[in-house]
Amino acid sequence: MNVEHVDIAIVGAGPAGLRAAQIAARAGARVALIDDNPRPGGQIWRQGPTLAPAAQLQQWLDETRAHRNLVLMNGTKVAAAQGDKRLLLERDGAPLVLAYSKLILATGARERLLPFEGWTLPGVTGAGGLQALVKGGMPVRGERIVVAGSGPLLLAAADTARRHGAHVVAVVEQAPLTRVARFVAALALTPGKLAQAVRLAVGCYRTGSVVVRAHGSSRVEAVAIRARGREETLAADRVACGYGLVPNVTLALALGCSIDERDGAIHVDDSQRTSQEHVFAAGECTGIGGMELARVEGALAAHTALSIPADARLVRQRDRWRAFGRRVAHAFELGADARAMPSPDTVLCRCEDVSIGEVAAHANWRDAKLQTRCGMGPCQGRICGEAAAIYFGWPRTAAREPFVPVRIDTLIAAHERTETPVS
């Protein structure tokens, strides 16, 4: 099987990974930038058939095009961490082993989905999921959409849908008005974010409210909203509901990196080093803080991996945006209504069609998996495992290798040791 060798491997082509790759390539290192999306940009700068690259992404593409020492591995899955500084990849349907000297994890975050009655109906997605689908070309013109859950992502998803012709019926935020108002007032500390909030503002923004039920026969037709003990039903063709973001640390766990128990993020020092030698991390996988923080952390990780002293201004910027991330986390912390467990017959694990009641009958996640197959489907517990952590207080668990579904011949080839030179 082919084994390619690079100085620095970077997993994740969002703002953090792009910035790290740019700096490392400019310094002359051989760099591989790996991402499972067909184009670079991550969730923030996702491109699509009708969506041109964002200005910052286009600038990155223009600048790095001449760097032959930078290999873009788009549409590439990381299947396993083989040890001895090697990753098993699947690229264009074929297996590939990538050997590296340094590894930068910029794996971002995934959306936290919390079940409610009817959440498996067609037309129900995550808030970030809706944004990704629309950017990918899914038509929403004329549709009535309710965006719900928690956090600034709701406004961004609503804005994306609205700009593509949808009618945003309401944005439903679980955080109370007092906390949201204090957060908005504190945006004066970050004028750019204040301007962004003003641009994304919507008319029907409800605080202290949660989605409790989606109605419909063959697809969603309406959604029930609860606020202060009272329910209201809104007609909707689509519901997008996400309760913030969760650091994506699957690969980090497989590599043995320490994880912060408070927020589930990769633990890094002030230079973006993880607990594992030669492994660094940057962006949302080290804690949710936004695009600006991700870019600064990506720069710091690249400097450290290259053994180049970082500019003190980068450290100050990192500290500033980390403070902003803490304000976001406090303002949109999940309240009792968002954490309330749905009815026992509500599906918890969509992959294996397991209800909350079936899972609640067990003492821990391991027993629940053994007896119900909860968490053993294609998503490997990434969705239901997070929900179980919220509802039952069970520790979050890591997915087993392979981390994502791959071809059987990729797994077979993983045991081959034949190396061929890189052209």
DSSP line for 77-114? EEEEE-SSSEEEEEETTEEEEEEEEEEEE---EEE---
Q: What is the pLDDT of residue 30?
A: 97
Mean pLDDT on 199-203: 73
Cα 284 to Cα 298: distance, rounded to the nearest angstrom: 10
Q: How far apart are CA 181 and CA 15, in angstroms?
A: 29
Q: Name the superfamily (CATH) of residues 3-110+246-309.
A: FAD/NAD(P)-binding domain (3.50.50.60)
Question: Residue 370 and residue 151: Cα distance in Å, rounded?
Answer: 34
Of the two residues 40 and 98, the one the predictor is more confident about is 98
Q: Quick one: pLDDT at residue 1? A: 66
For residue range 130-186, what is the model confidence (pLDDT) as tens digits? 999 998 889 999 999 999 999 999 999 999 999 999 999 999 999 999 999 999 998
CATH 3.50.50.60 fits 113-243, yes or no: yes
Percent with pLDDT over 70 in the chain: 96
Structural domain boundaries of the chain? 3-110+246-309, 113-243, 341-392
The reported pLDDT for the residue numbered 198 is 75
Q: What is the pLDDT of residues 9-62, one digit of tens each?
A: 999 999 999 999 999 999 999 999 999 998 888 888 877 666 678 888 888 888
Query: Which of 3-12, 200-209, 304-313, 365-374 has the least mean pLDDT?
Result: 200-209
Per the structure block, which two tokens stand in for 95? Answer: 């297996």
In 151-283, beta strands by DSSP E? 167-173, 205-206, 209-215, 222-227, 230-235, 238-243, 245-247, 279-281
Q: What angle do CA 310, 314, 317 make, to 5 degrees?
A: 160
Higher pLDDT among residues 356 and 310, named by residue: 356
Query: What per-residue confidence (pLDDT) applies to 194?
Result: 76
Between 137 and 8, whose confidence is greater? 8
Q: What is the pLDDT of residue 192?
A: 83
Q: How far is Cα 23 from Cα 385, in angstroms, rounded to an integer?
A: 36
Q: What percent of the chain lies above the pLDDT cut of 90?
A: 74
Per-residue confidence (pLDDT) for residue 416, from 0 to 100: 63
Q: Residues 371-386: pLDDT tens digits? A: 999 998 888 888 999 9
Q: Based on C-alpha coordinates, what's the Rg of the chain?
A: 22
423 pLDDT band, cuts 50/70/90, is very low
Comparing 113 with 93, which gets the higher pLDDT?
A: 113
SS3 288: coil
Q: What is the pLDDT of residue 361?
A: 96
The mean pLDDT of the chain is 91
Question: How far is Cα 284 from Cα 40, in angstroms, rounded to an integer?
Answer: 16
202 Rama sector, left if φ>0, alpha if ψ -120 to 50, beta otherwise: beta
Task: Report the alpha-carbon distance of residue 359 to residue 373 in Å, rounded.
Answer: 10
How much is the pLDDT for 82? Answer: 84
Q: Taking the model in full, what pTM does it have?
A: 0.92
pLDDT value at residue 422: 41
**Per-residue pLDDT, 399:** 66
Say what the pLDDT of residue 267 is. Answer: 97
* Residue 396 confidence class, pLDDT cut points 50, 70, 90: confident
Query: Tell me, what's the pLDDT at 50?
Result: 63
Residue 334 has pLDDT above 80, yes or no: yes
> How far apart are the C-alpha atoms of 34 and 78, rounded to whole Å?
8
Asked whether this chain's domains 3-110+246-309 and 113-243 adopt the same fold, the reply is yes
> Average of pLDDT values for 328-336?
96
